[in-house]
Amino acid sequence: MSIPGLGQFSSAATTAASAAAASASAITTISLQPFWEYRFEVPFSSSLTIRLLSGTAEKDGTELAPKNPYTFSGTKSKINTWLGCELEVTSDNPGAYDAYTAEHAADESPLVSYLNLHMKLEGLRSTAAKAMNTEAMGPRVLVVGPDASGKTSLAKMLTAWATRMGRQPLVVNTDPTEGILSLPGTLSAAVFATLMDVTTEWGGTPTSGPAGIPVKLPLAYYYGLERPDQNPKLFRSLLSRLAAASTSRLSEDPDVRHSGMVIDSAAVDASKPGDLDILAHIVAEFSANIVVSLGSERVTAELARRFAGQKTSLGEEIAVVGLDKSSGVAERDAAFMQRVREKAIKEYFFGDAKKNLSPGTQNIGFESVTAWKVAEAPDSTSAEDDDDFYDPGATDSVVEKVEPSDMMLNCTLAVMYAGTRDPPDAIRDANVMGFVYITDVDEKKKRLKVLAPVNARLGDRPLLWGSWPEPMVSLLG
């Protein structure tokens, strides 16, 4: 195993290549000094291949293997080095991508504070593993912050560094905007015990095809909406289900229990009490004992005030840690994020450059389909002040049964681990079996054309339909 930041000093030259030089040639050599970063943005229509020639380098906490080519497309990311390195950068379209070198000193790089946080967490994990109490748990870390603060990147770093120390953290995604090992619109959890593929966000979604690294199978619950405030009751209900399943996973495996959790969250706005209420609910449900607030002094102050004197269900103090966001956090506009979602859905069904999948299509009669629709809150603003709306024990349903229609065209629906005769709440709270895509709807003949990863009968499983991710018209284009 390796500790982040330790390794051989690079023998590369100490001067950094400029972004102009990178774009002038299809193959460019980039020399980075200690604590420098190589930041790059690659459009979806192009690719960028990076090889580590000498020294050591990381992407989101995962080490790059020497001489191994890593190809990136449709991404905004960075590679950092603790001790210096030399990179070879190759582009199929030199003028299409944007890249530059960020020159940090050790006392200026936020990565140092992130590494210090990791070492603190590692100490807590070691303490839990050595405790006489066999039920001792490692740290449960919730990462929060406003939009574009680097929450997911930090969660990935903490996860990657933990696995390099031989740990097996349970990673939890409570942000429906993006998926972790699942499609957008879901809340998920998975144990990470092996390295992550640095060319994908979290290693890709599980599919029916072979994988280059061990597949991490997530437990996923379908929310089907973009933001938690669109249906707070459903969101809280699913959080409770996910927390119960995650806690059960911790109790079953000592290695996972001692490693603890890393919890990613949706963007928070300190001016919205509902956002802070959701974070407080996550802390309570997952017994989070460390809240890391990125890039917002106001959010940090509000959370410190809210959790002052509070303890977890295990009797631990709740620590709120404020950290600066990295200056390298890239702004991802709505158009870029839509392309990210489309890419994730395409890869789920058809694979990527490393593997090709052959999904199957089925023509199904309306009478053979049991579909349910996720309902939005009638008024998200007024719902924030309605305590009954937030009651996770309430029995009124937040999904409604619907007949297939043209509105389903080009939509992705979740196949639920439930029976078609189960009550609405059981279907709502079931975990996700997989996804299907509706390619055609014939209302006159009452037929659906459905794309699925495997040819399997759908009639005995209910389908759950939400507005997120949005319809994708180009999947078969």
Residue ranges of the annotated binding site for ATP are: 37, 76, 148-153
In the three-class reduction of DSSP (H, G, I as helix; E, B as strand; rest coil), residue 194 is classed as coil
Residue pair 458/368 in contact (Cβ under 8 Å)? The answer is yes
Burial of residue 105, with CB atoms counted within 10 A of its CB: 0-12 exposed, 13-18 middle, 19 or more buried: exposed
Concatenated DSSP letters for 373-435?
EEPPPS-HHHHTT-GGGG-TT--S-SEEEE---GGGTT-EEEEESS-TTS-HHHHHHSBEEEE
Q: Which residues sit in the known binding site?
A: 37, 76, 148-153
Beta carbons of 227 and 176 less than 8 angstroms apart: yes
Which residue, among 49, 131, 55, has the nearest Cα to 92 in the 3D structure? 49
Cβ(53)–Cβ(86) below 8 Å: yes
The single-letter DSSP state of residue 66 is: B
How far is it, in rounded angstroms, from Cα 375 to Cα 269? 24
Q: Which residue has tokens 């979740």?
A: 414
CA distance 127 to 268: 32
Q: Return the number of other C-beta atoms located less than 10 Å from residue 220's C-beta.
A: 29
- Residue 235: enclosing H or E segment and its boundaries? helix 232-252
Positive or negative: CA dihedral 440, 445, 446, 451: negative
95 CB neighbour count, 10 Å cutoff: 9
* Cα torsion 411, 417, 420, 426: sign: negative
Tokens matching residue 363:
């023509």
State the number of CA atoms in the 13 A half-sphere of 395 facing the CB: 1
Angstrom distance (rounded) from CA 414 to CA 458:
11
Residue 336 near residue 42, CB atoms below 8 Å: no
Integer Cα distance of 61 and 152 in angstroms: 12
HSE (side-chain half, CA atoms, 13 Å) at 87: 32
396 in Cβ contact with 428 (< 8 Å): no
